[in-house]
């Protein structure tokens, strides 16, 4: 497994940042290589992406979600990955620090080489920078889901 950790500060409040992050179907607008994300229910997502020149699909399950604090997930089939994104107020609560941690298991030589060369980590950093631009230019979220998930079960 390859472990990545990237942070970025955005100039919108935590609630706005978090609310936008819960709009998973908007991810293709700022995540490189993500072709589609479909929310299947409150905790399951279907992903379609281009990874190392190949189209890959997988399902992920949200394991933990607490409004304005954290969203954590893991894949259930296909691509092997797990992640956690946290949100914390900065700049007297007018801004948000987003910290994204991902564990990714490359498949095959091309993905392993890309991981070794730091391409995957660079992609994650680029995704965060594009999210920052997306949310700061809008100034408001496109939607929100304020429910909670504990141990993969919505509350």
CB–CB of 44/152 below 8 Å? Answer: no
Residue 8, judged by CB atoms within 10 A of its CB (0-12, 13-18, 19+), counts as: middle
Read off the pLDDT of residues 57-102 as tens digits, 9 standing for 90 and up: 999 999 999 999 999 999 998 778 899 999 999 999 899 999 999 8
The confidence score (pLDDT) of residue 1 equals 56
Q: Where are the beta strands (DSSP E) in the chain?
A: 2-10, 34-39, 44-51, 54-66, 70-77, 80-90, 95-105, 149-150, 153-154
Residue 23, judged by CB atoms within 10 A of its CB (0-12, 13-18, 19+), counts as: middle
Tell me what the mean pLDDT of segment 120-137 comes to.
Answer: 88
The confidence score (pLDDT) of residue 116 equals 40
Q: What's 78's DSSP letter?
A: S
Give residue limits of the domains in the chain: 2-22+63-144
Rounded Cα–Cα distance for residues 25 and 37 (Å): 5
Q: Answer yes or no: is pLDDT of 110 > 90.
A: no
Q: Answer yes or no: is pLDDT of 148 > 50.
A: yes
Pick the CATH number of 2-22+63-144 from 2.60.40.10, 3.40.50.880, 3.30.530.20, 3.40.50.720: 3.30.530.20
The confidence score (pLDDT) of residue 121 equals 60
């Amino acid at each position: 497994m390859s472990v990545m950790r990237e942070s970025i500060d955005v100039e919108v409040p935590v609630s706005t940042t978090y609310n936008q992050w819960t709009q998973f179907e908007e991810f293709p607008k700022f995540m490189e290589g993500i072709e589609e994300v479909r929310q299947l229910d409150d905790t399951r997502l279907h992903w379609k992406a281009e990874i190392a020149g190949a189209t890959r699909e997988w399902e992920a399950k949200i394991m933990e979600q607490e409004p304005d604090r954290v969203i954590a997930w893991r894949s259930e089939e296909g691509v092997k990955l797990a992640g956690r994104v946290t949100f914390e107020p900065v700049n007297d609560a007018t801004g948000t620090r987003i910290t994204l941690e991902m564990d990714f298991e490359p498949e095959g030589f091309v993905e392993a080489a890309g991981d070794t060369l730091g391409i995957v980590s660079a992609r994650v950093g680029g995704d965060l920078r594009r999210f920052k631009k997306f949310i700061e230019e809008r100034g408001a979220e496109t939607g929100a889901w304020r429910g909670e998930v504990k141990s993969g079960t919505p509350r």
